[in-house]
Structure 1
Amino acid sequence: MTTTSAFLYRDGSRGEAVLLDELMPDLGAGTFAWVILDDPTTADMVPLANAFGLHPLAVEDAIDPSHGPKVEFYEEQLLVIAKVARLEKETLRYRQVAVFIGPHHVIVAQHGQALGSEALRASVEAAPELLKRGTGYALYSILDQIVGSYLPVIEAVEDHVLDTEKHMLTAPLDHAQIAALFGLRRQLILFQRILNPFSDAASKLVDANIPNIDEQAVPYFQDIAYQIMRVENMVDGLWDVVTSVFEVNNLLEQQRQGEINRKLAAWAAIIAVPTAISGIYGMNFANMPELATRFGYPAVLVLMLGISLFLFMRFRQSGWL
């Protein structure tokens, strides 16, 4: 079910609530309407499209929760689509936020309570000096909230990877841990597919002659672009760490298998000596070494034990045992 909240803002402060049917394209200097819709439908967007002349293609993109991040210009209208990231039960989930910006309106169409209506308003209203400058600065504050959702996700994933890395150095990773790392690597790929178009969109906000964003606002959007680039670098770094964990785990596993093979080979060599000698004496030939000697049998036992001890010490010194 769609929930909607709409308020007028004058000189950076929230004013009275308004109905969508009451909205007008020209609200006067220093005044704009900020509308937030949760899980909007085409019918929900009709009064807003009529009031502010929203482009039909922009409306279509905004109500599609699977649309990728982008920036589009429609004369005096600006549409920005971005994704909020959340870590839910060790899985990255994305919620879409579409923001329409005009001279006298800010329309946020979000899916799955991506940012929360009141929480978003409260966060943006915490900087009234920015809000009073116009709708472009409201867009900056909203994008700042979206980019801010990425950092806790990155930190949580980073902690998980580092814990796995520490465990790997003490014991080999089991099947469940390896499967979890593969899943994490796949999620990082999907995250990169979200960040790359978002980074391109942020670059448009910096470089283009954009409606409703004045020159004084450009440094703010440069900050957004920098934050996205920073997150991209962090994701790339995590990708490298996850890949190195796989490689090091394989090397350690090969090393452990090599140690086991060396130990088996060493013990096989040690056991082969008494086995070979006792096998010869077990053939029951009439003429055999030391059969007529009084201490022949003990001497052979001492010989087998001595050779075995000698081999054991040599293998021990070489690190095979």
Structure 2
Amino acid sequence: ALFIVARTAQLIDGRVTFGETHLFVGSGYIVSVRHGPSTSYAAVRQHWESCPHSLAKGEDFVLYAILDFIVDNYMPVLEQIEDEVEAIEDKVLLKPMTAPDIERLYMLRRDLLRLRNAALPLVEVCRRLTSAELPQIHTAMHPLFRDVTDHIRTVQEKIDSLREVLAFAFEASLLVGQSQETANTKKLASWAAILAVPTALAGIYGMNFDSMPELKMEYGYPVVLTAIAVICTFLYWRFRKNGWL
């Protein structure tokens, strides 16, 4: 008899939760025992019982049908995650990520890695099922198990691409945040430079020295105010032209 363990996955409350299916396969029988989150296999049974010709191929065909069903159920989980990843992509360039956004991104990457680790061992399972060491599996069934392997590879590629997109989204968010910080720094530096002019002039003429010649000028006050206004206006125009303000 054969004993096979396959990991199942479902998306519950935004998190990927995992279960296990234990398959006992022998001459004339196959028993499946489900633990944890998993879609019922009643649909598989009803489908193939309506096709007696396919079901007559034996218990190894039923094993293929269950494994294929388990792998196919990874895709709805990935599709829901993909929708959320696309929403993150659309938002990441508009504003930097908040702490809850970064936490959610980390959880998605972690769940995708766990899903990859759950799905990938089935490649080795299918390889063993197509080897000559297992006489319980008919040679005619080998292409079907290879087809399951191809589906697992597709799931793996999709998981890897989603994890890569999430990594790029995080990096893009950091760049957006740094860009905004740089822009704010430029604005602060520009206003500091503009305010430095009246501060410097007011500081100079605020010194209490008796021998300051400008203190006796009749039009000294309006001249100084005019100089402050002209210099500050020029600096504002210059910073505005350079895109700092």
Same fold (TM over 0.5): yes
Structure 1's consecutive aligned runs of 4 or more residues displaced over 6 angstroms after TM superposition are: none
The unaligned stretches of length 5 or more in structure 2 are none
Distance verdict in 2 for CA 1:208–1:292, change over 3 Å: farther
- Per-residue deviation, residues 256-311 of structure 1 (Å, max 9, x unmatched): 11111111111101100111011111113333354333322111111111111111
Tell whether the 8 Å contact from 2:44 to 2:65 is kept in structure 1 after alignment.
Answer: no
Alpha-carbon distance between aligned partners in 1 of 2:90 and 2:187, rounded to the nearest angstrom: 26
Residue 302 (str. 1) matches residue 218 (str. 2) = no
Alpha-carbon distance between aligned partners in 2 of 1:294 and 1:126, rounded to the nearest angstrom: 108
* The one of 130, 133, 144 aligned to 2:57: 133
* CA RMSD after TM alignment: 1.7
- Per-residue deviation, residues 73-116 of structure 1 (Å, max 9, x unmatched): xxxx2222101110000111112111122221111111246232
Identity of aligned residues (%): 37
**Segment of structure 1 superposing worse, 136-145 or 125-134:** 125-134
* The one of 150, 168, 177 aligned to 2:74: 150
What secondary structure is seen at the aligned counterpart in 1 of 2:31? strand
In structure 1, give the amino acid aligned to 2:92. M
Structure 1 position 117, deviation (Å): 4.8
The residue correspondences of 1:57-206 to structure 2 (distance < 5 A) are 77-112=1-36, 114-206=38-130
Tell whether the 8 Å contact from 1:130 to 1:138 is kept in structure 2 after alignment.
Answer: no
Aligned residue number for residue 152 of structure 2: 228
Greater relative CO, 1 or 2 (CA 8 Å, sep 6+): 2
**Segment of structure 1 superposing worse, 125-134 or 93-102:** 125-134
Alpha-carbon distance between aligned partners in 1 of 2:18 and 2:183, rounded to the nearest angstrom: 46
Alpha-carbon distance between aligned partners in 2 of 1:153 and 1:273, rounded to the nearest angstrom: 62
Alpha-carbon distance between aligned partners in 2 of 1:163 and 1:125, rounded to the nearest angstrom: 41
The unaligned stretches of length 5 or more in structure 1 are 1-76
- Per-residue deviation, residues 148-171 of structure 1 (Å, max 9, x unmatched): 110010111111111112111111
* The one of 238, 243, 250 aligned to 2:167: 243
Tell whether the 8 Å contact from 2:10 to 2:37 is kept in structure 1 after alignment.
Answer: no
Higher strand share: 1
Residue 255 (str. 1) matches residue 188 (str. 2) = no
Structure 1 position 125, deviation (Å): 2.8
TM-score by length of 1: 0.72
